Structure 1
């Protein structure tokens, strides 16, 4: 069976299962999630090796830290709280309906399609799947073309322990075919440009979508904050996965007069972490096209007059290993490539500023970012940045780690995406809150007084209701 035939057959199987068994029990959902956790736990080395092979060099430690650990933690968190989330919720009944009853039942949507990118191929495939399964849905995952070693492995592991009418990972599927199918909900993580194409395809089936699209997430170092501490923290999250992270700090504002200090500390920290490009914990750029794009981005910044500073010792580029040394680009201009598109690599532009108003204006003139990061202990500055800007998420005095909070929704705004998952909000994202009104005999008799023909009784009743705004 080729990938297209398998996709269609699996979709049909899940569709029929979702109609015949619309509400999987909470125990069934928990059992599926635990099986998923166990296959991840029992195959850590194989998973790390597959991702390493797909990247052409990806630290096992980063895979454990950034993909396996948060997924296993998420399963534990969800299983403990699922009963509470799925419990029907009572809702207020209007005075005109005293004796009746309102409640909301979270019902599964049905079959969820998940389209994932290559940069965090395991986490971004299974994190939304965990939320979808917890809500009682069936799920089919399409991994990126650059993640096929991992995709084949996860397909093997999932197929051996979980029924394909609940969860399936299918290698080799076409993105065009996948996104055009009549899903009950679809999740896409990737670029804004591709997100628009996916949303257009989904609209033909009126498929609701969750889009996680990234963008240029700004970082602001306030005058009150210790420069060395900020440099230590932001370089950790910026250069994880060689900067190939949708919520990586994309560029940074540093107060005038503090750039040299920031660069000095950043160099010292990075040279302790990575001796040079041969260090096994420094991840490769995913493919030749991305490597060439990042090289061109650096050359463009140099040609247009920016100061480009390498943070580690030794070679700047290793074309064979597709590795690039981490760099800071000081005071880039807006006509440079590095300030126009999401960087998705180990290049960190640093801009200077005189006032916080200048920073707020710059951020607000651009597309809404997926994340905004600030380093400040000043509560007034925190509030100014929080309430004068908009972003998908915020970290104060760190970056990226808001994504690791199991009880916080993760999602974008505007050009950086729509919808969210993780935690209870993820459960709700993949549920339809089904309103159920149960009439009482007493209320029914009163309501029928409002039925035609409309005479004096009706006028008295309606005027009373209007007067008291019932």
Structure 2
């Protein structure tokens, strides 16, 4: 079934799809463990059976993206998340025991939390990891017993078209459906009366999504990114730190919400760090232009944006270090490939320092004392990720204790996102709410508190019913005290 929608009008067809799912959800009643596992299994089958077609579609959208990158970041990670939910779902679905007030717990009373599906969840996904950003939240949404409507980015049309066809093949539209289109469809989608809405993308768009959802009091989870810092300690293995940071930054051409934006390096170690970065890239990418392993910018628009950051920095006298062979730093716009560049101590008012980079640039800032690093990070919006490299345990604890971010990785880049047993989400301008694994199951479930009375009418026994008298006075006196 083709769910493609014309740009206008879009509201009515979207509302009809939502009504279809909500009607089916209500008719289904209790969503059993077997039903949830079946839906997860169908997602796994979809990914495994069509992994080659997925790689080809993503390659068409990016122009240059290795199938191994797509298999690792999109297919393997998605299958892993789906299997993690499947493995733990029976345990998560069990009612969670709580303790009734004394003495009711001794008199047969029970208290517990029942996790119920919310209903229909809207999922709005970005272009940078177009498959995983569908299935990572979808694993939690289906595990929690919900149905889903999905709106992918218009910047990856080949991938969206393929996924739309595959979802129609593996699922009824009352279970999962995908709608495609540009900003008009996105605006109408975010205005629907979902039971929950999750959006992954730019902070500016996130504001519009939250505003639209608020009109219907739809709860939202926003994963928005931001400028994520890296701290390289003066104590530690500089070579290993550079290797891990540059490898992580080069991942997907820097087009990840948790990719480092700027890196603090001890002033006296700057030149050694730059040399190590150059050596790392030379080992991984002997060439950049025409190299199928190096991921291009997704399109000419983003190519122009990143090129503009570099050009502005050069014009302002910033030291720019391209990590590539001579003459391979920037391609023509049609190929939209840019080598990873280091920008050394750029001014604070440059675009590379005020905007989320989301591409193959890493700003390097030098420092003398860790306190100035902490103060700098805390003076800015809270990032989605923070990275610390070093062996000084006391310094690490000081950084983690005095800063705030969506997540942290120590001596690693982006691994906090790959751990399905950790919550993933932002704080402040980098987002709100989280998902992944148990935390995602709870995000997309309604936690309903249930109290069951025991065999004694405790209110009558305690004298808390009118007419009041000495018994309630003594009971209150015994309870209201220091």
Correspondence for 1:28: 35
Report how far residue 6 of structure 1 moved.
Answer: 4.5
Correspondence for 1:153: 162
- The answer (yes or no) to whether the contact 2:300–2:334 under 8 Å persists in 1 is no
Report how far residue 170 of structure 1 moved.
Answer: 2.0
Which one of the candidate residues 271, 275, 288 is aligned to 1:264? Answer: 275
1:230-281, Cα deviation, whole Å (9 max, x unpaired): 1111111101111111100111001012111111111111122121211001
- The answer (yes or no) to whether the contact 2:117–2:144 under 8 Å persists in 1 is yes
How far apart in 2 are the matches of 1:338 and 1:284?
A: 19
- SS at structure 2 position matched to 1:146: coil
| Alignment pair present for 1:69 and 2:76 | yes
- The answer (yes or no) to whether the contact 1:22–1:108 under 8 Å persists in 2 is no
Report how far residue 2 of structure 1 moved.
Answer: 5.5
- The 5-angstrom pairing of residues 438-457 of structure 1 reads 438-444=452-458, 446=460, 449-457=463-471
Which one of the candidate residues 211, 224, 228 is aligned to 1:200? Answer: 211
How far apart in 2 are the matches of 1:232 and 1:56?
A: 27
Which one of the candidate residues 341, 349, 370 is aligned to 1:335? Answer: 349
| Alignment pair present for 1:128 and 2:130 | no
Report how far residue 196 of structure 1 moved.
Answer: 0.9
- The answer (yes or no) to whether the contact 2:462–2:471 under 8 Å persists in 1 is no
- The answer (yes or no) to whether the contact 1:22–1:110 under 8 Å persists in 2 is no
- SS at structure 2 position matched to 1:241: helix
- SS at structure 1 position matched to 2:388: strand
Q: 1:195 to 1:445 in 2, by over 3 A?
A: closer
Q: 1:258 to 1:445 in 2, by over 3 A?
A: closer
Correspondence for 1:298: 310
- SS at structure 1 position matched to 2:387: strand
1:167-187, Cα deviation, whole Å (9 max, x unpaired): 112222700100000111000
Report how far residue 22 of structure 1 moved.
Answer: 4.1
1:56-91, Cα deviation, whole Å (9 max, x unpaired): 221111111111111111111111110111100111
Correspondence for 2:18: 11
Which one of the candidate residues 67, 78, 93 is aligned to 2:85? Answer: 78
- The 5-angstrom pairing of residues 339-358 of structure 1 reads 339-358=353-372
Q: 1:212 to 1:22 in 2, by over 3 A?
A: farther
How far apart in 2 are the matches of 1:106 and 1:346?
A: 42
- The answer (yes or no) to whether the contact 1:114–1:186 under 8 Å persists in 2 is yes
Correspondence for 1:252: 263
| Alignment pair present for 1:403 and 2:417 | yes
Report how far residue 414 of structure 1 moved.
Answer: 0.7
Q: 1:223 to 1:306 in 2, by over 3 A?
A: same
How far apart in 2 are the matches of 1:447 and 1:270?
A: 76
Report how far residue 351 of structure 1 moved.
Answer: 0.8
1:11-53, Cα deviation, whole Å (9 max, x unpaired): 1111112222243101100110011001100111100111111
1:387-414, Cα deviation, whole Å (9 max, x unpaired): 0100000010011111000111101011
Gap runs ≥5 in structure 2: none
- SS at structure 2 position matched to 1:342: coil
- The 5-angstrom pairing of residues 102-251 of structure 1 reads 102-172=111-181, 174-251=185-262
How far apart in 1 are the matches of 2:36 and 2:422?
A: 21
| Alignment pair present for 1:54 and 2:61 | yes
Report how far residue 444 of structure 1 moved.
Answer: 4.4
Correspondence for 1:466: 480
Provide the aligned C-alpha RMSD in A: 1.5
When the two structures are superposed, what TM-score results if normalisation uses the length of structure 1?
A: 0.96
Range with bigger deviation, 251-260 or 438-447: 438-447
How far apart in 1 are the matches of 2:400 and 2:472?
A: 52
Gap runs ≥5 in structure 1: none
Which one of the candidate residues 367, 374, 381 is aligned to 2:395? Answer: 381
How far apart in 1 are the matches of 2:29 and 2:389?
A: 47
Number of matched pairs: 468
Report how far residue 96 of structure 1 moved.
Answer: 4.5
- The answer (yes or no) to whether the contact 2:222–2:431 under 8 Å persists in 1 is yes
1:350-381, Cα deviation, whole Å (9 max, x unpaired): 11000000100110000000000011111111
How far apart in 2 are the matches of 1:374 and 1:439?
A: 51
1:285-311, Cα deviation, whole Å (9 max, x unpaired): 112221111111001111111100110
| Alignment pair present for 1:391 and 2:405 | yes
How far apart in 1 are the matches of 2:253 and 2:457?
A: 65
